[in-house]
Amino acid sequence: MPAGHVDALIVGSGATGSLIAARLAEKGKTVAILEAGPERTAGDLVSSTLWARRLKWSGARVIETGSRPVGHGFNAGFGTGGSATHHYAVWPRLHPDDFRMHSRFGRGLDWPISYDELRPYYDKVQLEAGISGDAKQESWRPPGAPYPMGPVPVFGQGKVIARGFEKLGKKTAPLPLAVTSAPYNGRAACIWDGWCDAGCPIGALANPLTIHLPKATAAGATIHHATRVTRILTSEDGARIIGVEYVQGPKDTRGGLEADLVILAAFAVENPRLLLASANAKHPHGLGNANDVLGRYIMSHSAGLVYGFFEERTEPYMGAFGGQLVNQDSYPKETHAKRGAFGSYQWMIAQAVKPNDLLGISTTRPDLYGDAVAPFMKRAVQHFAGMTAVCEDLPVADNRVTLASERDAQGEPIASVAHDAAPESTSLWEASLAEGKEVFAAAGAQEIWSGSRGAMHIMGGTIMGRDPGTSVADSYGRVHGVRNLYVAGPGLFPTSGGVNPTFTALALAQRAAEKM
Amino acid sequence: MEFFSRREFVCRGAGAALLLPFIVGGCEKRMTPAEAAKGDVPLRTLTISEEAALRLLGDLLVPGSSEAGLVHYIDHQLSVPAGENMLMIRYLGVPPPFVDFYRSGLKALNAAARQRHGTDFGVLTEEQSKALVADFAASKIADWQGPPLPLFYFVVRSDAIDVTYGTAHGFASLGVPYMPHIVPPSNWGA
């Protein structure tokens, strides 16, 4: 641990924390990253669905309530790289209407910035991390620089599903993936073996271990594992941060570190938990919580899961975990208004699947047991195909992170996350299943079924906005009322859109880092 | 960061591949869970009654899971720190230690068997156990006193799938190429 003081202290080594660490260290700042979880290197990324579970959350308990739990245990990571170490690198952009949803439709919230303001940062991150895709084929894509690598390959699974979209007069395009379809900046090309969820040890997938942590440490940043920040300390007048307290190592050794700048990049649940737990006399309800907005508007995409069997061999184990193709015909917010739905969704088509695990083949039919299992599995590994709709979750104020009365082993209050879905979001998910089944029928599927409503990604909780009365941070993530405290990550999103959040979180982090 | 080559099959501790430590005769011996099951290696956590119930339940949910080492897999995983745990349950919002979840579920299953047939689940006849598992899978067991029945079914079924189809051996049994970058040093932790 650095002695006493650093220029910038970053809580969490995930996607955004690593990017900001790299940028600030490159500016010559002294930077320390405090990571609550263990150290992980490429050699720890074992190719196994079972071993992959060790990459997921194993910190303090998070209580989940409400009818639609956010799935923190699956969606959050723990250790070097955070959740981005096991993320699937599906990197589409939000659309302009996602940033002005309240203004345009009277629903949800507005962002304090527009797509046009964020666009150059999308382009910068894209160039640095590398995205494979075909911008011209993505007719829905907002303006932006073309992808630096060509599209990912399409295997049998993608081909049969694309046939269904085509028969219905709909389009597909290569899925934009931050995975190397060709050698890129010294990184090897992917070999499409579908182990993304277990972490990518060959550097093909743009996770923090591959992209930003090496740059950060090369520029002098230090990373300290098994070091959990327990409290953010302010000056006596409450106007600025002076440092943090932490517990470290197996014996929970307590310590403190002063910093000129503190950036919380510990994901959408831990960030507000820490801000709430840091309440003091000047901030009696938590830092950035003068108006009871902190912790609110937690969102999680609903997964619309559609599966089928096809006569052809589909090689469902080949490709990337995120998929091969994309369709965003249902991105306009009112596409499914007749069904009572509001919001956007995209299809991630033909994701590589393994026989087991939460997203594996066997779990698509959890009702099968006994003698029905083996025939299903043997057929599925040859003829299965699937796709997933990323369904927008409208921001609801009562969906929130609060402090529970229960304390963890270190005596800290644990987080409780309440989440229910707005009726329009539920209708949107139902609409996705109806469309997906229609596509599979058009594609000639022999059997079609759908999955239960999964929770993908976690956003909100520390939303950004122009008005300090209705948001936690400004467009750079700077927390209202405390001049040197920032939040980074998808927790800043005021709306979820219908696409995967990592790319947008990184673009916001790049923009913030340039400002810091 | 040092990366592995595109297809560098790294087998850390090659001699220990597919092995994990079991205590036999007071000494640590490394073997696969399937070998441990075959050799009747003493369990760390589960009782004899729990073992019998889990073994039978696993085989009725996913045939072959008992031979693949389901009981020793779960028993081993229940004894490791939460961060090293590989059970599906860690995704599902159940706080560790997970032994309470399994123990209360198996206790409820035994109670249901006793209520119907006057004996523990693990010693039911084939006909009796199949009928009870049919109701178990359909969440139709009256007065169930364990964890939520659909969740317990899902968890045990997932564990049984994991040991039967989730390893390199399981992939091979389905004709699926495993294609690892880094070969697991053991099936499920050590």
Q: What is the pLDDT, as a whole number, of residue A106?
A: 96
- State whether residue B21 sits within 8 Å of chain A by CB: no
Q: What is the pLDDT, as a whole number, of residue B184?
A: 87
pLDDT digits (tens, 9 = 90+) for A249-261: 888 899 999 999 9
pLDDT digits (tens, 9 = 90+) for A26-56: 999 999 999 999 999 999 999 999 999 999 9
Cβ within 8 Å, pair A370-B157:
no
- State whether residue A363 sits within 8 Å of chain B by CB: yes
Q: Does residue A233 have a pLDDT over 60?
A: yes
pLDDT digits (tens, 9 = 90+) for A307-338: 999 999 999 999 999 999 999 999 999 999 99
Give contacts of A 293-352 with B, CB under 8 A. Answer: 317
Strand partners, A309: A384, A447
Average pLDDT value for residue range A158-177: 98
* Closest CA in chain B for residue A200: B181
Cβ within 8 Å, pair A50-B167:
yes
Kindly give, in sequence order, each residue whose CB lies less than 8 Å from that of residue A120, ignoring residues fewer than 6 positions away. none
Q: What is the pLDDT, as a whole number, of residue A268?
A: 98
- State whether residue A452 sits within 8 Å of chain B by CB: no
- State whether residue B172 sits within 8 Å of chain A by CB: no
- State whether residue B185 sits within 8 Å of chain A by CB: yes
Q: Which residues of A touch B187 (CB under 8 A)?
A: 50
* Closest CA in chain A for residue B59: A370
Q: What is the pLDDT, as a whole number, of residue B77?
A: 94
Cβ within 8 Å, pair B85-A64:
no
pLDDT digits (tens, 9 = 90+) for A116-167: 999 999 999 999 999 999 999 999 999 999 999 999 999 999 999 999 999 9
Residue whose C-alpha is closest to residue A327's, from A394, A392, A390: A390
Q: What is the pLDDT, as a whole number, of residue A250?
A: 87
Q: What is the pLDDT, as a whole number, of residue B11?
A: 38
pLDDT digits (tens, 9 = 90+) for A179-208: 999 999 999 999 999 999 999 999 999 999
Minimal Cβ distance to A203: which of B3, B91, B171: B3
Q: What are the DSSP E strand ranges found in A199-313?
A: 222-224, 227-234, 241-248, 253-264, 299-309
- Sign of the Cα torsion A37, A38, A39, A41 reads negative
The answer to whether A442 and A170 have CB atoms below 8 angstroms apart is: no
Distance CA A303, CA A306 (A): 9
SS3 A110: strand
Distance CA A435, CA A31 (A): 49
Q: What is the pLDDT, as a whole number, of residue A470?
A: 97
Question: Per the structure block, which two tokens stand in for A224?
Answer: 């300290």
Strand partners, A248: A227, A253
Q: What angle do CA A457, A462, A463 make, to 5 degrees?
A: 90
* Owner of token pair 């303001």: A117
SS3 A21: helix
Q: What angle do CA A9, A241, A20 make, to 5 degrees?
A: 30
Give contacts of B 52-81 with A, CB under 8 A. Answer: 60-64
Give the mean pLDDT of chain A: 97
Interface-testing mutation among A80, A362, A363, A364, with chain B (most B C-beta atoms within 10 A)? A362
Cβ within 8 Å, pair B3-A188:
yes
Residue whose C-alpha is closest to residue A388's, from A439, A351, A423, A335: A351
SS3 A426: helix
Q: How many Cβ contacts (< 8 angstroms) between chains A and B?
A: 167
- Measured in Å, how far apart are chain B's first and last C-alpha atoms? 25
| DSSP output for A427-489 | HHHHHHHHHHHHHHHHTT-SEEEE---EEEEEE-SS-B-S-TTT-SB-TT-BBTT-TTEEE-S
Cβ within 8 Å, pair B167-A74:
no
Q: Is A233 exposed, middle or buried (0-12, 13-18, 19+ CB in 10 A)?
A: middle
Q: What is the pLDDT, as a whole number, of residue B185?
A: 81
Distance CA A268, CA A275 (A): 11
Distance CA A246, CA B29 (A): 40
Distance CA A29, CA B113 (A): 66
Q: What is the pLDDT, as a whole number, of residue B14?
A: 33
Q: What is the pLDDT, as a whole number, of residue B10?
A: 39
Residues of chain B with pLDDT under 70: 1-33, 187-190
Cα distances (angstroms) measured from residue B36 to each of A62, A184, B69, B167 = 35, 46, 7, 16
pLDDT digits (tens, 9 = 90+) for A342-360: 999 999 999 999 999 999 9
Cβ within 8 Å, pair B161-A373:
yes
- Does the N-terminal peptide bond of residue B97 adopt cis geometry, omega within 30 degrees of 0? yes
CA distance A352 to chain B (A): 12
